[in-house]
Amino acid sequence: MIGDASPIITGGSPSRRPTIGGVLIELRSAQKPGTGVPAYTRWLNRRAARLAAAVAVRMGLSPNTVSAISAAFSIVAIVVLLLSPVSVVTGLLVAGLLAVGYCLDSADGQVARVTGTGSPAGEWLDHVIDAARTPAIHLAVYLALSSAALVPAWVPYVALGFVVLSAAQFMSQILAEQLRKSAVNSVQQTKAAAAEKGAKDVLRSVVLLPTDSGTLCWIFILWGFPHVFAVSYVALCIINSFVAALSMRRKYLALSR
């Protein structure tokens, strides 16, 4: 959440804070490009996060506060998953809580950009929360499925594989971004992003939907049907492994050049 531009909206007393509608108008010009972003995040989560960010700005919340609230929703979801019986209601509640947490995870950056209050410390906090959140979800799946014993004994171990995969994928993404900050690579990235437009870009976002964090959130609506959840979860792990391998290979070759 590093602010690299002048503040668009500044804080102040509640009576002087901008309206939600005014913030939404300003946020339209402070959006990240959608090229290569999975479909749920690109077209649903970012739009919901824009509204959440506008509400946060209206309430005078800082980006770090939004990050903390995001983490709180995810923690509550994990606790519910671990302590509640395997049921449809539990799954719906967990999915909703995780989805709100993910929405706010996108909103904190938008609050930082639109108010100019981003900082290296805020970006660090955001990354630390992200680094812990996804592995924690998969660990909760492992513990919940192991204790319930409603699926084949090998299925919970897929969640442990998912823990390793998510950690490696997160490190690959973050580290590659830091290592690619040279001027040459920045120009190449800009040209590549500009070249990938239209139908091809839309198709890519749709194809990447299984790797979307939003997909992981909403897969829990199947939690009340253990075998259906298990099949979907295993399929998600396989697809993510394949995409991660391709992504890591591409990043390695790009950094080698």
In a domain, 11, yes or no: no
- For position 183, what pLDDT does the model report? 39
Q: pLDDT > 90: what percent of the chain?
A: 74
Is residue 165 within 8 Å of residue 244, measured between CB atoms? yes
Opening angle at CA 219, ends 140 and 90, nearest 5 = 60
Sorting pLDDT into bands at 50, 70 and 90, what band is 189?
low
Please check whether residue 194 lies inside any domain of the structure.
no
Range of 220's domain?
Answer: 20-185+206-256
**Within-domain flag for 141:** yes
pLDDT the model gives residue 40: 97
12-21: Cβ within 8 A, 24+ apart: 14/60, 17/57, 17/58, 17/60, 18/57, 18/58, 19/58, 20/51, 20/54, 20/55, 20/58, 21/54
Q: Which residues contact 250 (CB under 8 A, 6 or more apart)?
A: none
Residue type, 95: A
Q: pLDDT tens digits, residue range 33-53?
A: 788 899 999 999 999 999 999
Structural domain includes residue 115:
yes
The answer to whether residue 15 is domain-embedded is no
What lies within 8 Å, CB to CB, of 228 at 6+ separation is 222
Residue 9 within a domain: no
pLDDT band at 177 (very low <50, low <70, confident <90, very high): confident
Say how many Å lie between the first and final Cα of the chain, rounded. Answer: 29
pLDDT digit string, tens, across residues 82-133: 999 999 999 999 999 999 999 999 999 999 999 989 899 999 999 999 999 9
Long-range contacts of 186-189 (CB under 8 A, 24+ apart): none
- Is 83 within a domain? yes
CA atoms of 90 and 222, how far apart (whole Å): 10
According to the model, what pLDDT value does residue 86 have?
A: 96
| Number of structural domains found in the chain | 1
**Residue 93 belongs to a domain with what CATH number?**
1.20.120.1760
SS3 assignment for the chain: CCCCCCCCCCCCCCCCCCCHHHHHHHHCCCCCCCCCCCHHHHHHHHHHHHHHHHHHHHHCCCHHHHHHHHHHHHHHHHHHHHHCCCCHHHHHHHHHHHHHHHHHHHHHHHHHHHHCCCCHHHHHHHHHHHHHHHHHHHHHHHHHHHHHCCCCCCHHHHHHHHHHHHHHHHHHHHHHHHHCCCHHHHHHHHHHHHHCCHHHHHHHHHHCHHHCHHHHHHHHHHCCCHHHHHHHHHHHHHHHHHHHHHHHHHHHHHHHC
Both structure tokens of 161: 């594989």
pLDDT of the residue at 6: 44
- Amino acid present at 168: A
Q: Residue 42: what pLDDT?
A: 94
Residue 12: inside a domain, yes or no?
Answer: no
Distance of CA 212 to the CA centre of its chain: 7
Give the pLDDT band (50/70/90) at residue 1. very low
Check residues 3 and 94 and name the one with the higher pLDDT: 94
pLDDT of residue 5: 40
Q: Does residue 2 have a pLDDT over 50? A: no
Give the pLDDT score at 187. Answer: 45
Higher pLDDT, 92 or 196: 92
pLDDT (mean) for 152-171 = 97
